[in-house]
Amino acid sequence: MHLSRSHVSGEVFARTGYELGPSVSACDLAFDEGVVWEDGLTEEEAVVVGLWNNPGYQELLADLDISQADIIQAQQLQNPQLLTMLPIGVKQWELALYAPIDILYVRPIRISAAELESHRVAERLAQDGLNVVRDIRVAYIDWQLAAQRSELAVQGAALRSEIARIAKARLAAGDVAELDVSAIRLDALVGASDVSRTARDADLARERLRYLLGIQLTNVPLSPAPLPDAPATKFDLPSLLGDAVSSRPDLRAVELAVNAAEARAELARRDIWQLTGILPDINARGEKGFEAGPGLRFTVPIFHQNQGAITRAEADAERLRRQYINRRDLAAWEVNQAYIQLLQAQTDLEIWRDQVLPQAEQAVTSSRKALEENTVSLLLVLETTRQLLTAQQREREANAQLRRAIAELERSVGHRLLDSAEAVPMDADILPVSRVDVGEEMP
């Protein structure tokens, strides 16, 4: 039995809450009607769009048709062969019809191997779907973080400019030294440079996301929706490891590959004699006139008994068994790594959000007030401002890292761990989206 795109879509939906969407031609895109571009793209909407249109994943899904073709080919019966000798001269007319009869015990194994391979492809594509969901979520988080860094750079540049303005006024009044003002001016220039750099970083992150969503050469606008804070999470590591080993599609794919290799080895053992029935063999003029009778044609396994093909198939099965062990241990390592990263991100976020950031904000408020009263140096105000900007950036980075760790942990385990997001209903609007020329400026 061939597993179709709908089966893979069901597997991905059961594990992530997202479907693959409809199959469209290579030149078209499909957008869900629930995706509203004008109010900003959310993380959930990005995953829906990307899973439906990601060019790399759509290329991999073509393997389903290839595996279906392999099953059809395995099911096909070999056409009979007709041999005839023309009655020229004293040669009598002969006719023989050859029909392969080894198909009776070879064909079922060949079909079984092809079906196992189809199932392996489906499981692999389900794992590829998990990878695509993870990649889109991480790219979306990186894009949001880059946009936040750009906003912080603008705010920081404004703060530095304001401090530089106050410093200039105090220098004119003779309250500060030129050396102090020079340091503040330099810091303001650095802040202006950060604005330009972080804006370009945000553009790069946006373009990477556009590619993963499959909208690189379209006029579809892309603006971020507000990113919520990462949810509080607590997982049981042994349970996560057990889920990964027992349910990850890539491990199941290797198991099916082992079964397919074993079926091919059995096929190689049986495909020694290559029996062909002669039904019938006819001679036009024999000693008793018209003669006809059945017969057999087969390979005599004297010089070899197909040892090469058998050994190759058995070695392939053994390699896949060892590959399963490797993939199983790799899955456990990925879960452990993602879990440790999640714990570290949670700790960092708590420190920066609950401890460092409030103190940095209070320090800036106090220093700015003291500056207005001319009871503190400009360098102290500058230093507290730097600390606030650093704390704001690190708090956002920790929040992004926590969301990345959750996305990676869910991919490593093989299914969704948080139920905070609802899947967008699959109501496809298939659009032959107008693609812009490569040279045209995109939004």
Q: pLDDT digit string (tens) for 165-216?
A: 777 777 776 666 676 677 777 878 888 888 889 999 999 999 999 999 999 8
Pairing of strands 81-85, 428-431: unpaired
Q: Model confidence over 214-272: pLDDT tens digits? A: 998 888 888 888 777 777 778 899 999 999 998 899 999 999 999 999 998 888 888 88
Q: How confident is the model at residue 376 (pLDDT cuts 50, 70, 90)?
A: low
Percent of the residues in the chain that have a pLDDT greater than 90, as a whole number: 36
Q: Name residue 72's beta-bridge partners.
A: none
Confidence of residue 434 (pLDDT cuts 50, 70, 90): very low
Please give the pLDDT value at position 443: 34
> In this structure, what token pair is assigned to residue 329?
């241990």
Assigned domain for 149 exists: yes
Q: Decide if pLDDT at 430 tops 50.
A: no
Q: Is the pLDDT of residue 429 over 60?
A: no
Highest mean pLDDT among 104-108, 424-428, 437-441: 104-108
DSSP 29: E
Instruction: Determine the length of the chain.
Output: 443
Confidence of residue 442 (pLDDT cuts 50, 70, 90): very low
Q: How many domains does the chain have?
A: 1
What is the value of pTM for the model shown? Answer: 0.81
Query: For residues 391 and 385, what is the distance between their CA atoms, to the nearest angstrom?
Result: 10
What is the spatial distance between Cα 256 and Cα 124, in angstroms, rounded to a whole number? 10
Locate 233 and state its tokens. 């999470």
Q: Is 442 domain-assigned? A: no
- 203's tokens: 């553009």
Any domain includes 441: no
Instruction: Output the pLDDT for position 378.
Output: 67
**What's the domain range around 116?**
5-431
**Cross-strand partners of 32:** 428
Assess if residue 437 is contained within a domain.
no
Say yes or no to pLDDT of 440 above 80.
no
By C-alpha distance, which of 132, 172, 147 is closest to 49? 132
Asked, for residue 255, whether it belongs to a domain, the answer is yes
What CATH number did the domain enclosing 407 receive?
1.20.1600.10
pLDDT at residue 375 in the model: 67
Provide the pLDDT for residue 254.
93
pLDDT tier for residue 423 given thresholds of 50, 70 and 90: very low
Q: Is the pLDDT of residue 419 over 80?
A: no
pLDDT in tens, 7-49: 999 999 999 999 888 888 777 788 888 888 888 888 999 999 9
Burial 318-341 (b: 16+ CB within 10 A, else e): eebbeebeebbeebbebbeebbeb
| Residue 386 within any structural domain of the chain | yes
The closest of 103, 97, 105 to 295, measured between CA atoms, is 97
pLDDT at 221: 82
Nearest CA to 243 out of 410, 130, 125, 120 is that of 410
Q: Which is more confidently placed, 54 or 373?
A: 54
pLDDT band (50, 70, 90) for residue 1:
confident
Residue 336: the pLDDT is 95
Structure tokens at 212: 């993963």
